[in-house]
Amino acid sequence: MTDPSGLERGRGGDAQVPSGKVPDLPGEAPSRADVDAVEASLGRPPAGRFTVVVRDEGGAPAVIANDAFLADGTPMPTRFWLVDPVLHDAVSRLESTGGVRQAERAVDPALLADAHARYADERDRSIPPDRPGPRPSGGVGGTRQGVKCLHAHLAWWLVGGDDPVGAWTAARLGITPGASASEHGANAGR
């Protein structure tokens, strides 16, 4: 049986780590330790296949790339997911003080719309054109316009996406381009 991470489950629930990359996703196939770390970060087992695209200096997953569909076939609009606990908490604090509305006011709407379109295009290119059924929709965080989730924007920015809201979030948290994920966490005002 295959679990949501794309790992094969053997008898007794032990995961068999697949060799190589998970098809159609950037990054590295997750190890058993990666799956455990992501599960701890999410507070539940991952619901779909993923790869690790950004790691912290200790080697733990910081950002994962999700398959466009969950294990049950449900469309998954969020391509990149922030799983680093320090960064996640820092972004949550920023959101709790009105960060989503502040980012939406600060970022040029045309640049944001372009970012959503590019994000959706990147995700949609991973889906075979003849795949039947519903497809993921929207851009960053599954929204077509505006800002919904600073976590998703920062995750894409950390992967290298040209995301003005991700850049805005990084600046608010003191994160600089090119720093490692651990340095990002250290600068995020624990």
Domain ranges of the chain: 8-187
Cα separation of 35 and 33, whole Å? 5
Cα separation of 53 and 26, whole Å? 7
Query: SS3 letters for 135-165?
Result: CCCCCHHHCCCCCCCHHHHHHHHHHCCCCHH
- pLDDT, residue 9, reads 25
- pLDDT, residue 57, reads 86
Taking only the tens place, the pLDDT of each residue in 63-92 is 999 999 999 999 999 999 999 999 999 999
Global pTM reads: 0.83
Taking only the tens place, the pLDDT of each residue in 126-176 is 899 999 999 999 999 998 889 999 999 999 999 999 999 999 999 999 998
Q: What percentage of the chain carries pLDDT values higher than 70?
A: 81
Confidence of residue 97 (pLDDT cuts 50, 70, 90): very high
Q: Identify the residue whose tokens are 């600089």.
A: 176
Cα separation of 132 and 43, whole Å? 31
